[in-house]
Chains A and B, each alone.
Chain A
Amino acid sequence: MDLSSINPILLVASIMVSATPILLAAIGEMVVEKAGVLNLGVEGMMITGAVVAFAVAVNTGSPILGFAFGAFGAAALSLTFGVLTQILLSNQVATGLGLTLVGLGLSSLIGKPYEGVKAPSLPRLDIPVLSDLPVLGRMIFSHDIMVYLSLLLVVAVWAFLKYTRGGLILRAVGESHDSAHALGYKVVRVRLLAILFGGACAGMGGAYLSLVRVPQWTEGVTAGAGWIALAIVVFASWRAGRVAVGAYLFGGITVLQLNLQAAGAAVPVALLSASPYVITILVLVFISARGMHGAPASLGRPFHASS
């Protein structure tokens, strides 16, 4: 094994790239869950975003348009989940699973012609001055715009939930939909908006996978990233800042195991490739053993205004 082949600067830089798609999906799902909805379809929305973004970027030559359509496509898909669970009152767990299955099928159908094609990627955005810093410049300040946008989104979500009236209403709906309804808030509307936001975020996360991280279209490109995003929300105890920490930790593990594989570590490859999933399980165990704190009280419960 040759550990010296691992370049720490590149390592950190690639951790940021590897964390971004999960971060986007997880922060979106966190907002959805804060509103009291459990959408298990993150994987399906991500992969739909990935394929739509890829197809649009290839056909238009614009990765930005790709991201926009990826977000839009996944949000459209999430709307089916929203209609089923919020208006037709279907079971959220089953519908979320269904969303994943539909998303996987839909994406491989759309994606067939794009296998092996190369898509235009996002340009690197060298932040003036900062990117010229030694070490840190390359490490942190010369990524593409989505890396920064995702971090900005975390801050925005945090501020929204903590300081705005809209955020307060969203939390209230997630905490007790009956009380929110009694006070005259439109529970279903708030939840549908949250679901759409979550869909758009997951779509951007998927787009980042297929356009930047991998970057190409292959069937099943998300490889469980959506599920890991769900796990990160639990890990983060439904707090925006901790979602970022979780996503970066997870990105770190993924990149590290890839680097170890490349460096020929004396550990079976299967164990290394399984390690992100095993570690996710261990983290979940650790968090739940401590007791789950901060789960919205109405999470996953159906709401029907019977009066």
Chain B
Amino acid sequence: MIKLEKRPQPSRLWTVLAPLLAVLLTMVVGGALFWFLGANPFEAIRTIFWDPLFDPQFAPFSRPQLLVKAGPLILIAIGLSIGFRAGIWNIGAEGQYIMGAICGAGAGLALYPSDSVLVFPLMILCGALGGWAWAMIPAILKTRFGTNEILVSLMLVYVAENILASMSSGLLRNPEGMGFPGSRNFKQWEAAHNAELIPNTGMHWGVVFAFICVIGVYVMLTRHIQGFNIRLTGDAPKAARFAGVSPARVVFLCLGLAGALAGLAGLFEVSGPAGQITIDFNSGYGFTAIIVAFLGRLNPIGILLAGLLMALTYIGGELAQLMLGVPGASIQLFQGMLLFFLLGVDVFTNFRIRLTKPELA
């Protein structure tokens, strides 16, 4: 018989080992999946995890993409992780991402064609504000009425998508775009373009912000009383209240920060890699970031690594689609499986598996 026995202390070893084991298991099961889909499993795994970085033919194109994709994932996941640590489940980052993009881009487009150096900083500010404001809706409803933030933030994703549809074919539509939906392209407007900072690296302002956030949040969680309060709230809400932490303040802080970071990610995406507001410029980063946050153990450094890994599966997935003809959806499943395996193997972190003799009772 197999028995679970709670460890007196969470295992440090397994905290690190669990994500690695999860990745390994995902590769094995994912390989089987690709085999089932008619592709060579080893080739598929190599195409996803190795070729984008090291294949002489593809790497020059795909390597910069790594940071382009990892930037928003890390930025959003860092924000989400703070809330998850406190037991506040914001799963509507996708909506905050969209609203940040709309507000930031809208603020910029209102100034078109100014070439002031202030245009881009203003867009960044408005992007953060847009995401923040959208996250304030569940925050206010939760603190004021006790409404469940999971459902509200998620519903707001659908609302945001409808606003995006309306904006891209209405208010923000490119007046010179011959009636096609979609805003002006920021790539053609230097003052507002989130351009690549170092050629062929994929490094743009969003990636810089993501790195800064990793460091900032790391310091906050380990050294600052706010971070302590957030962790305390997540571990024991009653103890936090006893310590004098205001639950409402933690909700506002966590949701606000997550919203602002998601909004920033949206703005950097729309003014850089995506280039314009279109009805489907968002590509589900807000949801994938949830996986990134967990895979990174809600730890800033872990999230940095997990974000890069997840970006790799995006790029590698596209490559596999192109080269091996595996369906694009399989990579989404792949990412989902990764989260599942992680949650499963996490049992080793808190429990010891003990084999006992069958009892003769």
Contact = CB atoms under 8 A, between A and B. Distances in A.
Nearest to A44: B336
Interface in B275-321: 287, 290-291, 294
A277 B84 CA distance: 24
Residues of A contacting B: mostly: helix
Contacts, number: 133
A88 B347 contact: yes
B152 A105 contact: no
Nearest to A279: B155
A277 B327 CA distance: 31
A109 B155 contact: no
Interface size bucket, A side? 35 or more
A231 B151 contact: yes
A102 B343 contact: no
B54 interface: no
A304 B158 contact: no
Given A270-B162, A277-B159, A285-B141, A95 B343 contact: yes
Contacts of B84: 94
Given A84-B344, A90-B343, A101 B336 contact: yes
Contact of B340 (A98, A108, A281): A98
A74 B5 CA distance: 31
B152 A284 contact: yes
B147 A304 contact: no
A23 B343 CA distance: 30
Nearest to A38: B150
B213 interface: no
* Majority secondary structure of chain B interface residues (helix, strand, loop or mixed): helix
A106 interface: yes
B336 A284 contact: no
Interface string B333-361: 11111011001101100110000000000
Interface in A278-294: 278, 280-281, 284-285, 288-289, 291-292
Nearest to B333: A105
B4 interface: yes
Contacts of A106: 333, 336
B344 A90 contact: yes
A247 to B, nearest CB: 15
B146 A223 contact: no
Contacts of B156: 277, 281
Contacts of B163: 270, 274
**Closest 8 CB pairs between A and B?**
A105-B333, A105-B332, A270-B166, A102-B336, A108-B329, A90-B343, A274-B162, A101-B336
Given A101-B335, A270-B162, A281-B156, 20 more contacts: A40-B150, A80-B340, A89-B4, A89-B347, A94-B343, A98-B336, A98-B343, A101-B287, A105-B329, A105-B332, A223-B158, A231-B151, A234-B148, A234-B151, A271-B166, A274-B158, A277-B156, A280-B151, A285-B141, A304-B6
14 contacts: A89-B351, A91-B343, A97-B339, A102-B337, A103-B336, A108-B329, A112-B327, A223-B158, A227-B151, A270-B166, A284-B152, A288-B146, A288-B148, A306-B6
